[in-house]
Amino acid sequence: MTHFSQTHGLRLGVNIDHVATIRNARGGRHPDPIRAAQLAVEAGADGITAHLREDRRHISDDDITRLKRDLTRPLNFEMAATDEMVAIALRHLPHACCIVPEKREERTTEGGLDVVGGANELQRPIDQLKAAGMRVSLFIEPDERAVAASARLGADIVELHTGAYCEMDLRGDAAGLAEQLARHQLAAKLAHDAGLEVHAGHGLTFNSVGAIARIEQIVELNIGHFLIGEAIFGGLHGAISRMRGLMNEARASVGGRKTA
């Protein structure tokens, strides 16, 4: 049985997809995402996130098998709501399944799930995963209607898509940043009040993590691309421990000690 450690009530899930992206650029086994996952745990990750895409552009089926076999921390399995992915999840029984929208032509997961319009297609996979004892997370926009729809669908968790917030941060758009932050604060509160566990992620950096980490209702951040990129300059351990430190500092500054 794997357990989350609780550091200031805010967990860090490290997404290792892009270690696999680099490996796949040449084929072969190097760099190995499972080795990166183990190093991430040593550096302060509370869990590991991996997205098995329909086109297998980064994480492979074998990576999921090995993660499930070797990992000492919970695996958050990101997946599209397809029969194929549900079958894979049922075979491996990860700690949690995060359902994400997936389009072949996109470079990354560009927005949250259409939980309002697409509720009918989401209900069955959610029910199947939950019936097998997995925690189900929905990757949504920080939006009131999306939160309400997620609660109606019976999700355990919502993960707020921080992409637009991070984009404002990169652009240095202070007004846009404030607006996006307010959306996350409201969505997190509404989700928590509706009994949903709240996570967030996408595009977070050393610079943008603080304000999101200060939202008390959020108990987990999932971060990947920036950490793997930073690892080129200072190593994976250094990048993760710095991120962990910034999260702890931010959370300590609001005195929040929420547990999942």
Please choose, out of 64-72, 116-124, 216-224, 250-258, the segment that lies near ligand PXP by the rule CB under 6 A: 216-224
239 part of the interface to ligand PXP, by CB under 6 A: no
Pick one of 94, 142, 203, 256: the residue that binds ligand PXP (CB under 6 A): 203
Q: Which of the following is catalytic: 8, 18, 51, 192?
A: 51
Pick one of 19, 141, 222, 244: the residue that binds ligand PXP (CB under 6 A): 222
| 162 to 201: interface string for ligand PXP, x by CB under 6 A | ---------------------------------------x
Between strands 96-99 and 75-79, the pairing is parallel
- Closer to ligand PXP by CB, 200 or 255: give it: 200
Pick one of 138, 204, 215, 231: the residue that binds ligand PXP (CB under 6 A): 204
Please choose, out of 127-135, 183-191, 217-225, 247-255, the segment that lies near ligand PXP by the rule CB under 6 A: 217-225
Q: Could you confirm whether 3 is annotated as catalytic?
A: no
Q: Could you confirm whether 202 is annotated as catalytic?
A: yes
Spatial CA neighbour of 40 closest among 71, 69, 65, 63: 71
45 part of the interface to ligand PXP, by CB under 6 A: no
Q: Which of the following is catalytic: 8, 18, 58, 78?
A: 78
